Chain A
Amino acid sequence: MSFQSVPFLVSLAISVALYSLLPQRWRSVFLACLSFAFYLTWSLPYTLLLLLVTVYIFYLVQKLDEAEETRKYRILWQGVVLLVVLLVAGKYGREVLMSLPAIGLSSSIVNLVAPLGISYYVFKLLSYLMDVYAGKLSAEHNFAAFAAYVSFFPQILAGPIQRAVDFLPQIRAARQAQPYQLSSGLRLILFGLFKKLVIADALSALVAQIYKYPKGYTGFELLITSYLFAIQLYADFSGITDIAIGSARLFGISSPKNFENPFYAPTIQEFWRRWHITLTSWVRDYVFLPIRMKFRYWGWVGLTLSIFINMILIGLWHGATSPFLWFGIVQGAYMVVSVFTLKKRDAIFARIPGIPVFRLIWQSALTFTLVSLSLIFFRAENLRMAASILSSILSRSFFHLGIGRLLETINLVWGDTRFVVVVLALVYMEIIHLVQGNLKWRAYILSCPTALRWLVYYAMILILFFFGDQSAKPFIYFQF
Chain B
Amino acid sequence: MDREAIKEKLQTIFRVVFDDNTIELSDAMTAEDVEEWDSLNHINLIVAVEKEFGIRFTTREVYAANTVGEFVDMLEACLRRQGKIT
Using a CB–CB distance below 8 Å, which chain A residues touch chain B? 133-136, 269, 273, 284-285, 288-290, 292-294, 296-297, 303, 339
Contacts and interface: CB of A to CB of B under 8 A. Distances in A.
A269 B38 contact: yes
A136 B64 contact: yes
B46 A296 contact: yes
Given A133-B60, A134-B63, A135-B64, A293 B39 contact: no
Contact of A134 (B39, B42, B43, B64): B64
A293 B40 contact: no
B51 to A, nearest CB: 10
Contacts of B66: 136
A293 B38 contact: no
A293 B39 CA distance: 11
A134 B40 contact: no
Nearest to A295: B43
For the complex of A and B, the 7 pairs showing the least CB-CB separation, nearest first, are A293-B59, A292-B43, A134-B64, A134-B63, A284-B39, A290-B59, A135-B64
Contacts of A339: 40
Contacts of A297: 47
A284 B63 CA distance: 11
B30 to A, nearest CB: 14
Contacts of A290: 59, 63
A339 B47 CA distance: 18
The interface centre, meaning the residue of B38, B46, B63, B64 with most chain A CB atoms within 10 A of its CB, is B63
Contact of B40 (A135, A269, A285, A294): A269
The interface centre, meaning the residue of B38, B40, B57, B66 with most chain A CB atoms within 10 A of its CB, is B40
B6 interface: no
Given A269-B40, A285-B63, A293-B62, 20 more contacts: A134-B60, A134-B64, A135-B60, A135-B64, A136-B63, A269-B38, A273-B38, A289-B42, A289-B59, A289-B62, A290-B59, A290-B63, A292-B42, A293-B43, A293-B57, A293-B59, A296-B43, A296-B46, A303-B40, A303-B43
The interface centre, meaning the residue of A294, A296, A339 with most chain B CB atoms within 10 A of its CB, is A296
B62 to A, nearest CB: 6
A57 to B, nearest CB: 19
B43 to A, nearest CB: 5
Contacts of A134: 60, 63-64
Nearest to B60: A134
Contacts of B40: 269, 303, 339
B77 to A, nearest CB: 12
23 contacts: A133-B60, A134-B60, A134-B64, A135-B64, A136-B63, A136-B64, A269-B38, A273-B38, A284-B39, A288-B39, A289-B43, A289-B59, A289-B63, A290-B63, A292-B42, A292-B43, A293-B46, A293-B57, A293-B59, A293-B62, A294-B59, A296-B46, A303-B40
Contacts of B38: 269, 273
Nearest to A76: B60
Contacts of A136: 63-64, 66
Contacts of A294: 59
A346 to B, nearest CB: 11
B39 A289 contact: yes
A281 to B, nearest CB: 9
A284 B40 CA distance: 9
Nearest to B62: A293
A339 B46 CA distance: 18
Contacts of A296: 43, 46-47
A269 B37 CA distance: 13
Nearest to B47: A296
B83 to A, nearest CB: 19
A273 B64 CA distance: 21
A285 B66 CA distance: 12
A171 to B, nearest CB: 22
Contacts of A293: 43, 46, 57, 59, 62
Nearest to A342: B40
Interface in B4-26: none
Contacts of B57: 293
A273 B37 CA distance: 13
The interface centre, meaning the residue of A135, A273, A293, A303 with most chain B CB atoms within 10 A of its CB, is A293
A402 B21 CA distance: 53
A174 to B, nearest CB: 26
A284 B38 CA distance: 10
B54 to A, nearest CB: 14
A339 B43 CA distance: 14
